[in-house]
Amino acid sequence: MESNIWTEKYRPQKFSEVKGQDDIVKRVKAFVDKKNLPHLLFSGPPGVGKTTLSLVIVKELYGEEWKENFLELNASDERGIDVVRQKVKDFARTKSLGNAPFKIIYLDESDALTKEAQQALRRTMENYTQTCRFILSCNYSSKIIDPIQSRCTLFRFKPLNEEEINNIIDNIAKKESITLTNDAKKALYQVSNGDVRKLENIMQSAHAVTNNIEESTIYEISSYAEPREIKELLQHCLKENFEQAKKSLLDVMLKQGLSGSDVIKQLQKEIWSLEIDNPKKMRMIRECGEVEFKLVEGSDEYIQLESLLATFVIINTKK
């Protein structure tokens, strides 16, 4: 579980408090109400409520005895077959405490489990279904082997939308006596990208600096270039001013400490708002993908980004 103080402080304790996943919460609550829980597979991006919903499930099922009937393992730390054969099996084979019908094992980041460990896990899920249920959480369900997927009920989580993020911001701001401008809220949504954990971390860091949070504070805290700066950089490319575009790129990267991948992600977002023909936008987006792949493969950031800007200028050169 996350050790961040705010994350624990504002973690929902009931189904009604879980935001942004209404359909999933409704279906899971029906299982809990009948005390007939299947194996569950939660898939989705980070910070959208997978671990939180799992904790709500066990607290609703077991009440004060939830810690005795719940085992959480992070598969990214313990991902080998020995973990499944020892920790998981030892916990699964013992009877639940109190009036609980079964125990629950929560495997966070289960897509990091090796294939051998997943093969061992599927047998454990079969053999101890009378005494234990599994909740598997992952970012990519495609990395979970098919035999395990077929044994689980799959729920796909989505990033929270702007309205849901704003509700969480308002709730935290009220309890922490924080004042935020509307532009700061928009910046928080843009920077967090629907990730509540990231949202809370940024708000906590900004609150440590000031109680009156503005847009510039958010971008500074999160090492995120202001959209205005990225738009100016792109405008230089549209005007065929490569030298100025290169200078703006270096200023943004050095001032905010951005990596090449961070810059490309922001460039890709702002390209869609440019007032140019759609074919040009598509060619620019395609070039972003090509350069991003080269960066992942280990190419030099500055050379690749300068090459990208040069290509933008060529695409928008008036013939």
Same domain assignment for residues 72 and 133: yes
Rounded Cα distance, 274 and 63, in Å: 54
Give, in order, the Cα–Cα distances in Å from 165 to each of 51, 171, 183, 191: 18, 10, 14, 11
Same domain assignment for residues 189 and 299: no
Residues across the chain:
319
Same domain assignment for residues 90 and 217: no
Same domain assignment for residues 143 and 10: yes
Handedness of CA 189, 111, 153, 131 (dihedral sign): negative
Cβ pair 113, 143 in contact under 8 A = no
Cβ pair 46, 195 in contact under 8 A = yes
Same domain assignment for residues 124 and 78: yes
DSSP conformational letter for 96 = P
Tokens of 290: 């090509």
Query: Domain ends where: 113, 141, 156?
Result: 156
CATH of the domain at 50: 3.40.50.300
Q: Which among 270, 264, 268 has a CA at the least distance from the CA of 249?
A: 264
Angle at the Cα of 239 from the Cα atoms of 236 and 241, rounded to 5 degrees: 60
Burial (0-12, 13-18, 19+ Cβ within 10 Å), 126: exposed
Angle at the Cα of 279 from the Cα atoms of 303 and 187, rounded to 5 degrees: 65
Same domain assignment for residues 77 and 202: no
Domains identified in the chain, total number: 3
Tokens of 121: 């896990």
Same domain assignment for residues 41 and 148: yes
Following DSSP, what letter does each residue of 222-282 receive, concatenated? TT---HHHHHHHHHHHHTT-HHHHHHHHHHHHHHHT--HHHHHHHHHHHHTTSSS-HHHHH
> What's the pLDDT at 88?
74
Same domain assignment for residues 137 and 44: yes
Rounded Cα distance, 95 and 102, in Å: 7
Rounded Cα distance, 120 and 122, in Å: 6
Q: Which stretch of DSSP H or E encloses residue 43?
A: strand 40-43
Same domain assignment for residues 102 and 43: yes
Tokens of 150: 């077929």
Identify the segments of the chain with pLDDT beneath 70.
1-7, 75-85, 98, 318-319
Same domain assignment for residues 206 and 247: no
Cβ pair 178, 213 in contact under 8 A = yes
CATH of the domain at 176: 1.10.8.60
SS3 40: strand
Rounded Cα distance, 116 and 3, in Å: 30
Same domain assignment for residues 216 and 231: no
Range of the domain at 253: 227-315
Same domain assignment for residues 33 and 100: yes
Query: Domain ends where: 114, 137, 156?
Result: 156
Query: Domain ends where: 131, 156, 181?
Result: 156
> What's the pLDDT at 1?
42
Contacts of 82 by beta carbon, 8 Å cutoff, 6+ apart: none
Following DSSP, what letter does each residue of 51-92 receive, concatenated? HHHHHHHHHHHHGGGTTTTEEEEETTTS-SHHHIIIIIHHHH
